[in-house]
Homo-oligomer: A and B are copies of this chain.
Amino acid sequence: MVTIADVARHAGVAASTVSYVLSGKRTISTDTRERVQRSVRALGYRPNASARALASQRSNVLALVIPLRTGMHVPVMMQFAAAVVTTARRYDHDVLLLTADEGPEGLERVAQSSLVDALVVMDIELADERVPVLRELPMPSVLIGYPDDADGLTCIDLDFVAAGAHCVDHLADLGHRSLALLGTPSAVYERQTGFAQRTLTGFADAAERRGVVGVETPCEHTFDAILHTVRELLDEHPDITGLVVQNEPIIGPLLDVLRRLGRRVPDDMSLVAICADDVAERQVPQLSSVSIPAERIGDQAVESLITKLEGGDVPALTLLPPALTARESSCQAPHRDLTTA
């Protein structure tokens, strides 16, 4: 293993000079700089990460906390994760992967042992037990999602309240008077997961504001559950003509179930999903949807973190405005509804 001393010897300078060449923290003459750089390349020198971290008090590693809890949709999580890794690398940082197994103590462990410089925390519940820990930690963190009490935290999220409302507005604008929200599995609500709760709120408030009927139901992932949930929903509310779906993995089977129940999309039933664009576009018919900008959120989370590490200021809460793209799955409500209205 080649050390900075080897490079220094090879280039005929002091080790500190090599360090300054590499970091750029002091001016170095062109001549010396090039000589050192040549030695670095010739010897294939790579600074030892631990030594660097010990001396500089910076590990250049970010923690990424992905609980992977039941009911969560993994591909979406990974879109966030991939964006975080990519952006972190752009700022010369690596990413340590933490799952939920360790609970809040896991965060303390990596933070207090200086394994990482900062944390990105995903899948936030309204009363998340990790939040008090994060507040006390001696290093910056960014939450993807936000708890009820976000005091002193930095949070980034899609504005799910607005997303829920957008869906209602879109359908109400098309003349639909009776809507349902087909949500995530009930475990997600029971945990009081932020994005699910807030969509619910946005949906319910908007329905009231628009004077339309809005009912909500969770939905599990199995085909039987979907069939049962939808059948019961339509039995109890036969006049429903608009469905908002926030549950990516059930989208395929749901279309199937609706067909089975004799409801054509969009003629008998309009659909708006809250999901990634590519998922919406892959369906038949293509779904009107509010997209989840996972990449942008992941990017921004890392950028905020880097800014905080450099002592900069970032907004406490960044809510990205949702965008609804109308595709084939939503259209004017059937006539009888319009006349009733």
A interface residues, Cβ below 8 angstroms from B: 1, 44, 46-51, 53-54, 59, 61, 64, 68, 74-75, 77-78, 81-82, 85-86, 89, 94-99, 101-102, 109-110, 112-115, 138, 221-224, 252-253, 256, 282-284
Residues of B contacting A59 in the complex (Cβ-Cβ under 8 angstroms): 49-50
Would you give the shortest CB distance from A118 to chain B, in whole angstroms?
15
**Are A82 and B99 interface neighbours, CB within 8 A?**
yes
A224–B59 Cα distance when bound, in Å, is: 48
A-B contacts, 12 of them at CB < 8 A, read: A1-B112, A47-B113, A49-B114, A50-B54, A64-B97, A75-B75, A85-B98, A95-B97, A97-B97, A223-B283, A223-B284, A252-B256
The chain B residue with its CB closest to the CB of A81 is B97
Q: Please, which residues of chain B bring their CB within 8 A of the CB of A283?
A: 223
Report A101 CB to chain B, min CB distance, Å.
6
CA distance A96 to B93 in the complex (A): 11
Min Cβ gap A202→B in Å is 28
Starting from the known contacts A68-B82, A77-B78, 7 additional A-B residue pairs (CB-CB under 8 Å) come to A50-B53, A74-B74, A85-B98, A94-B115, A95-B96, A252-B256, A256-B256
Among A47, A68, A110, A283, chain B packs the most CB atoms within 10 A around the CB of A68
- C-alpha gap A333/B221 in the complex (Å): 31
For the complex formed, measure the closest distance between the CB of A293 and the CB atoms of chain B, giving whole angstroms: 18
Whether A109 contacts B46 by the Cβ 8 Å rule is: yes
Asked if residues A101 and B89 are in contact (CB atoms below 8 Å), the reply is yes
CB distance from A21 to the nearest CB of B (A): 17
Interface pair A223/B82, CB less than 8 Å apart: no
- Chain B residues, CB < 8 A from A98: 85, 94
Known: A101-B89, A114-B49, A252-B252. A221 touches B96 (CB 8 A): no
Q: Which residues of B contact A46 (CB under 8 A)?
A: 109, 112-113
- CA separation between A56 and B53, bound complex, in Å? 15
CA distance A228 to B37 in the complex (A): 57
Could you tell me if A96 and B99 are in contact, using CB atoms closer than 8 angstroms? no
What are the residues of chain B within 8 A of A85 when measuring CB–CB?
97-99, 101
Most chain B beta carbons < 10 A, residue from A48, A50, A115: A50
Specify which chain B residues have a CB less than 8 angstroms from the CB of A115 in the assembled complex: 49, 61, 94
- Closest Cβ of chain B to A87, distance in Å, is 10
7 tightest A-B CB contacts, nearest first? A50-B53, A50-B54, A46-B112, A49-B115, A97-B97, A49-B113, A252-B252
Complex contacts, A82 vs chain B, CB 8 Å: 68, 99
A99 to B87, CA, bound (A): 11
Known: A50-B53, A97-B95, A99-B85. A68 touches B61 (CB 8 A): no
Nearest-neighbour CB distance to chain B for A34, whole angstroms, equals 23
- Which of chain B's residues have a CB closer than 8 A to the CB of A282? 221-223
Contact across chains for B113 and A99 when beta carbons are under 8 A apart: no
- B1, B64, B99: the one within 8 Å of A86 (CB): B99
Taking CB as reference atom, which chain B residue is nearest A115? B49
Residues in B with CB closer than 8 Å to A81 are: 97
